[in-house]
């Protein structure tokens, strides 16, 4: 994966979650032309053994806070219905199902309009 090319060089970020030098997960975002001052969250992934402990929600909220700090106003996320944990995470955190999926392996797309006046708790 070319993190610099696809994320950092275009104004995005790629995060790696580690514990004791073991990679537990990743999360990333980059600006997109869809929407108004929008980003797309990508590579939101956690190892199965660290799921259902609140880490996904924590990671999503931290990512949202960083996106707000960078003055973006919308977040878009594509996923697949079979990824039930991801669907539940996004729906429980204010993401609205919409239309316009662009990635072949995905069949759902979510959007969230950010309140840029304050960070997410």
Give me the sheet containing 96-98, strands edge to edge: 13-19, 22-32, 38-46, 74-79, 108-113, 96-98
Mean of all residue pLDDT scores within the chain = 92
Average pLDDT over residues 17-28: 96
Do 65 and 114 contact (CB within 8 A), yes or no?
A: no
What global pTM score does this model have? 0.88
Would you place residue 8 in the very low, low, confident or very high pLDDT band (cuts 50, 70, 90)?
A: confident
Domain span at residue 84?
3-113
- pLDDT beyond 90 at 15: yes
Q: Is residue 76 part of a domain?
A: yes
Evaluate whether residue 75 is within a structural domain: yes
Q: Is 60 helix (H, G, I), strand (E, B) or coil?
A: helix
* 121 within domain boundaries: no
Q: Tell whether 51 is covered by a domain.
A: yes
Tokens of 57: 């929600």
Please enumerate in sequence order all residues whose Cβ is within 8 A of that of 85, keeping only pairs 6 or more positions apart, or say none.
51, 52, 56
The domain tally of the chain equals: 1
- Structural domain includes residue 120: no
Residue 41 lies in a domain: yes
Percent of the chain residues topping a pLDDT of 90: 83
* Predicted pLDDT at 10: 83
Residue 84 lies in a domain: yes
Residue 118: inside a domain, yes or no? no
Give CB contacts under 8 A, 24+ apart, made by 2-7: 3/28, 6/30
Give the pLDDT confidence score for residue 2 in this predicted structure.
80
Q: In the prediction, which pLDDT does 119 show?
A: 60
Q: Dump pLDDT digits (tens) for 84-108.
A: 999 999 999 999 999 999 999 999 9
CATH code for the domain in which residue 81 is found: 3.40.630.30
């Amino acid at each position: 994966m070319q993190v610099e090319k696809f994320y950092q060089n275009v104004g995005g970020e790629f995060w790696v979650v580690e514990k004791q030098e073991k990679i537990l997960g990743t999360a990333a975002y980059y600006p997109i032309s869809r929407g108004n001052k929008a980003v797309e969250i990508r590579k939101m992934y956690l190892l199965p053994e660290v799921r259902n402990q609140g880490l996904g929600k924590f990671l999503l909220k931290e990512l949202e806070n960083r996106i707000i700090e960078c003055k973006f106003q919308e977040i878009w996320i594509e996923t697949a219905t079979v990824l039930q944990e991801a669907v539940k995470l996004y729906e429980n955190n204010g993401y609205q199902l919409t239309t316009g999926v662009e990635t072949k392996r995905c069949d759902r797309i979510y959007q969230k309009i950010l309140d840029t006046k304050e960070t997410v708790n």
